[in-house]
Amino acid sequence: MPRAIWSGAISFGLVNIPIKLYNAVSRKTVHFNQIDTRTNSRIKQKRVSDADESEVPAEALAKGYQLSSGQYVIVTDEELAALDPEASRTVEIEEFVDIADIDPVFYDAAYYVAPDKATLKPYALLYHAMEETGKVGIARFVMRTKQYLGAVRPVDGRLMLSTMIYADELNDPAEIGELEAIDEAEISDRELAMARQLVESLATEFQPEQFHDTHRERVLELIERKASGATEVVEAPAEPAAEKVVDLMAALEASVSAAKKSRQRHPTAAPTDEAAEPAPAAQKPRKRKSA
């Protein structure tokens, strides 16, 4: 059974709702240790000084911030502790915003917000009010001595809290040269119609359970085989051959055709029209500016 990682209260206006936070995500990956193949023993990491390669005892370790000059500023744990945000057990909602106004890039870790049994009604009231208005609560809270910006949002009958990144942590896309020329691309109406048709032919409802981390599954299968005594060598896949540049319209038409055939073979495929609406006649290419 999941364990709560934080307990406190959601606060907005004069309303306080006791809650607990539970991790909404459990990251799954395969962890390896470094092994000395001569003795089959695990390798330990040691902290050594860059000056003389001697091992540094724990009591001699300190935090240092490197300046552009190469010098280090030493900061003690006591100095950092004095700057910690004031301990609080409150998710303080400062404002409500439209959910459509938040770009998903700002969302970070997700948590389930569980109510206290004695305060189910105000929890449910907040959920329904936010769901009906399409709003998300922007809040600040402190967890494990760190202050977070968070978004409280209604999801499938419950509240979720997502920590958020700050605006100055986003990389500016204007600094990526390859993105500058997108608006200069010339797209004809026929090409756009075919591309739209391809998108629509692949459109479906998102079912996250159908996607798996196939690489992790294959790594675990390899480990199980080797643990059982298998000695086969896994061959590295061949490098893919460089693809030739093909005619865009031909590629779009072939993709649409393949998507339709694939959809028809799917057991849940619904009957489709006999023929798709023909793409409009080719027109002179023109530049399309993004809004």
Query: Is pLDDT larger for residue 144 or for residue 276?
Result: 144
Planar angle of CA 213, 217, 222, nearest 5 degrees: 150
268: amino acid identity, one letter: T
> For residue 86, what pLDDT is reported?
78
Distance, in Å, from the CA atom of 78 to the CA atom of 80, rounded to the nearest integer, reads: 5
| Relative orientation angle of helices 248-265 and 189-201, to the nearest 10 degrees | 20
Contact assessment for residue 7 and residue 19, using Cβ atoms and an 8 Å cutoff: yes
- pTM score, whole prediction: 0.72
Residue 281 confidence class, pLDDT cut points 50, 70, 90: very low
**At residue 245, does pLDDT exceed 70?**
no
How many contiguous H segments (helices) and E segments (strands) does the chain have?
Answer: 5, 13
* Domain 6-24+84-169 belongs in CATH node 2.40.290.10: yes
> For residue 19, what pLDDT is reported?
94
pLDDT tens, position by position, 114-126 = 998 888 999 999 9
pLDDT tens, position by position, 27-82 = 888 999 999 999 999 999 889 998 999 999 999 999 999 999 999 999 998 998 88
Mean pLDDT of 105-119: 92
Contact assessment for residue 169 and residue 269, using Cβ atoms and an 8 Å cutoff: no
Residue 145 confidence class, pLDDT cut points 50, 70, 90: confident
Encoding tokens for residue 219? 């790594």
> What burial letters (b/e) apply to 24-63, b meaning 16+ CB within 10 Å?
eeeeeeeeeeeeeeeeeeeeeeeeeeeeeeeeeeeeeeee
3-state DSSP assignment of residue 78: helix
> For residue 275, what pLDDT is reported?
40
Helix (H) or strand (E) holding 131: helix 120-133
Mean pLDDT of 187-191: 88
Span between the terminal Cα atoms of the chain, in Å: 48
> For residue 242, what pLDDT is reported?
59
Counting every residue written for the chain, the total comes to 291
> For residue 276, what pLDDT is reported?
43
Contact assessment for residue 10 and residue 113, using Cβ atoms and an 8 Å cutoff: yes
Domain range annotation of the chain: 6-24+84-169, 186-204+249-268
